A = this chain, B = another copy of it.
């Protein structure tokens, strides 16, 4: 494992800070410089040993690897500011939760240096934010998705993948479009659905009773609705095409449920139960998979709404 001499982190929060701590703990990085918007957070990062110095974006451009860990909506101006200063051997990579929009922004803003950019997404996080939330083991046994484009330098991909492997993560490759579809399904759409439900219930007249009698099922179902509104607005907007595609299918399914409940015939009652049974079987198989390592059954069996 080769060491990265200088790593620049743009956005020294949970994601960026944890990468630094992980690499430092494995001696996989020499010097880490940090770029950020708020002095207090950078001071905290210095104090915690997450970064060795603060830097401007222009100074960050001289690093060997630049990790852009800002919210995705802030990446286009970061790329544009880096472009004139980035040398031919500098590698740029990111940690954004959406990939097609980041790739498009990088292609537009990095111009001829786009081949030096490796789009990536570490699948890890907690509810906490800021440098103080960072910890060295965040990425251990977690997945990092790398979405190389046709132009992406193979050398750059190797270095970024090695960097992530050093943190204990495992690498998965996927196109940006596949990535965005997958994470719309398992993260972005569920967030939208949970936010929408909690906002609706909080606005209805019996809201106080709703929250008074809500129990553990509600607690778990809505945990993701406690996330950052700004961050999830950005992700929702950035991945709106994939989300809308799945939301359309979901809304059609809810329409079916409404029809079934409006006319609870034997057939419609069976339709409700069949949908619940397919969901329960898949969910419980997945639970056994993540908990006990049991193999997942082949899905996409086409279980269709009637």
Question: Is the Cβ of B208 less than 8 Å from the Cβ of A298?
Answer: yes
Q: Which of A11-19, A159-167, A232-240 makes up part of the contact surface?
A: A232-240
Complex-state Cα separation, A265 to B116, whole angstroms: 32
User: 1/0 contact trace for A239-262 toward B, CB 8 Å?
Assistant: 010011011111101110110011
Q: How many copies does the complex hold?
A: 2
Q: What residue of chain B has the Cβ atom nearest to residue A248's Cβ?
A: B258
Contact of A201 among B186, B202, B225, B237 (CB under 8 A): B186
- Interface size range on A against B: 35 or more
Cross-chain contact B193 with A197 (CB below 8 angstroms): yes
Interface set, chain A 69-86, CB cutoff 8 A to B: none
Residues of B contacting A280 in the complex (Cβ-Cβ under 8 angstroms):
195, 198, 225-229
Min CB distance A252 to B, Å, is 9
**Interfacial chain B residues near A55, Cβ < 8 Å:** none
Query: B278 to A202, Cβ gap below 8 A?
Result: yes
- Which 6 pairs, one residue from A and one from B, show the smallest C-beta to C-beta distance? A207-B299, A207-B300, A229-B276, A198-B279, A229-B277, A202-B282
Chain A residues proximal to chain B, CB less than 8 Å: 123-124, 143, 145, 172, 174, 178, 181-183, 185-187, 189-215, 217-230, 232-233, 236-237, 240, 243-244, 246-251, 253-255, 257-258, 261-262, 264, 269, 272-273, 275-280, 282-284, 286-287, 289-290, 296, 298-304
A/B interface sample: 20 pairs, CB < 8 A: A143-B213, A186-B217, A186-B218, A192-B257, A196-B254, A199-B279, A200-B249, A202-B278, A203-B304, A204-B249, A204-B300, A205-B300, A206-B300, A207-B300, A220-B220, A220-B221, A220-B223, A221-B224, A237-B264, A247-B254
